[in-house]
Chains A and B, each alone.
Chain A
Amino acid sequence: MSPRPRLQLAGWLLALLVVSAVVGPMLYAVDPDVLDFARAAAPPGTGHPLGTDENGRDVLARLLVGGRVSLATGAAAMLLAACLGTATGALAALSGRRVDALLMRLTDAALAVPTIFIVITVVTFFGPSVPTLIVTIGATSWMGLARLVRGELLALREQSFVEGAIALGAPPLERARRHLLPHLWPTILVNATLGMGSALLIESALSFLGLGVQPPAASWGNMLSGSQSSLYTAPWLAVFPGAMILLAVVSINLLGDALRDTLHPAE
């Protein structure tokens, strides 16, 4: 597919997911936390459109609310990573050699440690709450963008319009905002989009280890992880959250790919 239809397809899919997460719980007003053991693990249909989980909670309601939690966690972590990455890259490129060297060593260090491992360590230590998850996932996902931004800024600095701005005496911050940032948008946008997909996957991996969003709150990750004990008797409990994660990450990745092909950011 060429970029434009792909962009549209991915955009529509993602919009659908976001809208259902935001509006869904209001339209489908079933309490996602009510336990009803008499109707545990009921199959789809039977009064619950997507059935109930092993505790008799409505799967559709949890899927909608869980989507909120998962997408919000992913988006917030992605925002944080984008800010950190852009700031680090820009600071490194625009400050002196010493700062540059220091920040790049820091980036190398962060890249040298396996991300998920550090996330596990931090989340275990500080306890798995949504804010902890956002901060740790965000704080371990900025390095790639930092390198890209730094590289691009170093290249841009050589270009004449920037030199012109410097010659005109524009203050550094103003310079960065007016002349440099616009050129970085494609890189940041593409990188952040793909980063949100991996944030969703990290949340689900942490849920598998019992370190994701904590029950009774729902997230796609903990619903998927929680379905393991019913895998043999109620496979649909695994299918729905699994499909949502897959759908979300696929459409995010599609969007990222299409954006890249459309915007042509520097590699």
Chain B
Amino acid sequence: MAGFLLRRLGHAFLVMLVVCTVTFGIVHAAPGGPSLLADPKLSIAERAAIAERLGIDRPVPEQYVRWLVRVARGDLGHSFLYETSTVSTIMARLPATLLLAGTALLLTIVVAVPVAARCADRPGGWLDRIASAVALGAISVPVFWLGILAILAFAVHAGVLPAGGSATAGGDFSLLDRLRHLVLPAIVLASAGTAELFRYTRESAAIQRTRPFVRTARAKGVPESAVRWRHAMRNAYIPVVTVIGLQLPRLVGGAAITETVFSWPGMGRLGIEAALARDYPLIMGITLLVSVGVLLASLLVDLAYVALDPRVRPDA
């Protein structure tokens, strides 16, 4: 087990190096430079002074090595845009994104898995047909559009939920207020993932249910619910866990759009802002952080395999 972990961590480290090198290369190879330098009022000397202060006057490989050295010391540099440390800028926005993405992931799992298990009971039944059709729609609709329609319906017309933000601006803390702000963005962000997880789980459960050991269990008189959860679904969980693992990066990406639609003060919106302003340190910082998170999550997914399926041995 320790060997497995070490090897996986080694891989993760290599992957991180690839991610950083490629992202750094793309960001710096692109024409133009930080928007800081686009001010038409700047003289050539002022421009050069800014480039020097930001360290972007040096050759890209040298900048990259300097950046790596600083990262090794835990320093991600200063955001061009905010002129604050990249780490503190990201950390100020991270909790909002974790809350939103975490809620969405939770919603995804608690909705998709039970519904899929029930649908797999009676493939072609009314629940299955409705759920499958809704799921097909949910993976086929642009997320931002869903968000705008939700705001229109629930905030502007019905007036029952807020149109944006994560809390009433300037208000005192109130749990109810926070929850009210969370409802629409979490559902919108969860929609595509829920649909996708539903489709996989249903498929996977339907296959399991036709397998001999399930038929055997049923023939032995094991109650239907026990057949469903203990026998069929247990094996169906493995692809389900894979799908959840694959959804994490998309959840963060989807959060960027959802956060923009709902003015949610999260990291995804910060990332879009950084990309548009060509804020190199902030782009690199967010990419690094998200990738580390995704890699850790996929490590967890692998560990979950081991827990779920005795046939998967870590040393294999």
Q: Which of A112, A242, A246 contacts B15 (CB 8 A)?
A: A112
Indicate if the CB atoms of A250 and B256 lie closer than 8 Å. Answer: no
Indicate if the CB atoms of B249 and A112 lie closer than 8 Å. Answer: yes
Interface: A219 (CB within 8 A): no
Cα of A176 to Cα of B174 in the assembled complex, Å: 63
Interface: A175 (CB within 8 A): no
Indicate if the CB atoms of A253 and B145 lie closer than 8 Å. Answer: no
Indicate if the CB atoms of A106 and B18 lie closer than 8 Å. Answer: yes
Known: A204-B142, A231-B148. A109 touches B278 (CB 8 A): no
Which of A35-43, A50-58, A75-83, A118-126 faces chain B? Answer: A118-126
Interface: A4 (CB within 8 A): no
Interface: A240 (CB within 8 A): no
Known: A114-B252, A126-B31. A197 touches B140 (CB 8 A): yes
Question: What bracket does the count of chain B residues touching chain A fall in?
Answer: 35 or more
Measured between beta carbons, the chain B residues less than 8 angstroms from A153 are none
Measured between beta carbons, the chain B residues less than 8 angstroms from A84 are none
Tell which of A105, A197, A242, A245 has the most Cβ of chain B within 10 Å: A105
Interface: B287 (CB within 8 A): yes
Known: A115-B253, A117-B253. A231 touches B152 (CB 8 A): yes
Indicate if the CB atoms of B14 and A105 lie closer than 8 Å. Answer: yes
Measured between beta carbons, the chain A residues less than 8 angstroms from B145 are 204, 208, 224, 238, 242, 245
Which of B20-28, B85-93, B112-120 faces chain A? Answer: B20-28
Cα of A221 to Cα of B28 in the assembled complex, Å: 29
Expressed in whole angstroms, the minimum distance between the Cβ of A133 and any Cβ of chain B is 15
Indicate if the CB atoms of A105 and B15 lie closer than 8 Å. Answer: yes
Q: Which of A117, A208, A242 contacts B290 (CB 8 A)?
A: A117
Expressed in whole angstroms, the minimum distance between the Cβ of A155 and any Cβ of chain B is 16
Cα of A161 to Cα of B291 in the assembled complex, Å: 41
Known: A105-B18, A120-B275, A124-B278. A246 touches B249 (CB 8 A): no
Interface: B260 (CB within 8 A): yes
Q: Which of B31, B140, B249 contacts A250 (CB 8 A)?
A: B140
**What number of A residues sit within 8 Å (CB to CB) of B?**
39
Interface: B246 (CB within 8 A): yes
Interface: A167 (CB within 8 A): no
Indicate if the CB atoms of A201 and B23 lie closer than 8 Å. Answer: no
Interface: A184 (CB within 8 A): no
Indicate if the CB atoms of B276 and A246 lie closer than 8 Å. Answer: no
Indicate if the CB atoms of A115 and B137 lie closer than 8 Å. Answer: no
Interface: A230 (CB within 8 A): no
Indicate if the CB atoms of A201 and B142 lie closer than 8 Å. Answer: yes
Question: Which residue of chain A has its CB nearest to the CB of B207?
Answer: A267
Interface: A205 (CB within 8 A): yes
Measured between beta carbons, the chain B residues less than 8 angstroms from A201 are 140, 142-143
Chain A interface helix/strand/loop/mixed: helix
Cα of A242 to Cα of B27 in the assembled complex, Å: 33
Indicate if the CB atoms of B143 and A250 lie closer than 8 Å. Answer: no
Interface: A111 (CB within 8 A): yes
Interface: A31 (CB within 8 A): no
Expressed in whole angstroms, the minimum distance between the Cβ of A249 and any Cβ of chain B is 4
Expressed in whole angstroms, the minimum distance between the Cβ of B154 and any Cβ of chain A is 14
Q: Which of B15, B250, B276 contacts A114 (CB 8 A)?
A: B250
Expressed in whole angstroms, the minimum distance between the Cβ of A141 and any Cβ of chain B is 12
Interface: A149 (CB within 8 A): no
Contact with A along B129-152 (1 / 0, CB 8 A): 000000011011111110010001
Measured between beta carbons, the chain A residues less than 8 angstroms from B56 are none
Cα of A148 to Cα of B162 in the assembled complex, Å: 43
Known: A124-B276, A231-B148. A112 touches B257 (CB 8 A): no
Indicate if the CB atoms of B11 and A113 lie closer than 8 Å. Answer: no
Indicate if the CB atoms of B291 and A112 lie closer than 8 Å. Answer: yes
> Which residues of B (1-40) have their CB < 8 Å from a CB of A?
11, 14-16, 18-19, 22-23, 26-27, 30-32
Measured between beta carbons, the chain A residues less than 8 angstroms from B276 are 124
Interface: A228 (CB within 8 A): yes
Contact with B along A191-213 (1 / 0, CB 8 A): 00000010001001100110000
Indicate if the CB atoms of B136 and A114 lie closer than 8 Å. Answer: no
Expressed in whole angstroms, the minimum distance between the Cβ of B56 and any Cβ of chain A is 14
Measured between beta carbons, the chain B residues less than 8 angstroms from A228 are 148
Indicate if the CB atoms of A113 and B14 lie closer than 8 Å. Answer: no
Cα of A9 to Cα of B148 in the assembled complex, Å: 30
Indicate if the CB atoms of B148 and A250 lie closer than 8 Å. Answer: no
Indicate if the CB atoms of A114 and B141 lie closer than 8 Å. Answer: no
Measured between beta carbons, the chain B residues less than 8 angstroms from A205 are 142-144, 257
Known: A209-B260, A224-B145. A121 touches B15 (CB 8 A): no
| 14 additional contacts (CB under 8 A) given A205-B144, A245-B142 | A112-B291, A114-B249, A116-B250, A117-B275, A118-B26, A118-B287, A125-B30, A125-B31, A126-B31, A197-B140, A208-B142, A208-B257, A208-B261, A225-B144
Listed from nearest, the 7 A-B pairs whose CB atoms lie closest are: A125-B30, A116-B253, A249-B140, A114-B253, A109-B18, A208-B144, A114-B249
Would you mind naming 23 contact pairs between A and B with Cβ atoms under 8 Å apart?
A109-B18, A112-B15, A112-B16, A112-B249, A112-B295, A113-B290, A114-B249, A117-B253, A120-B271, A120-B275, A121-B23, A121-B26, A121-B27, A121-B275, A125-B26, A125-B30, A126-B30, A204-B145, A208-B257, A231-B152, A246-B140, A253-B140, A267-B239
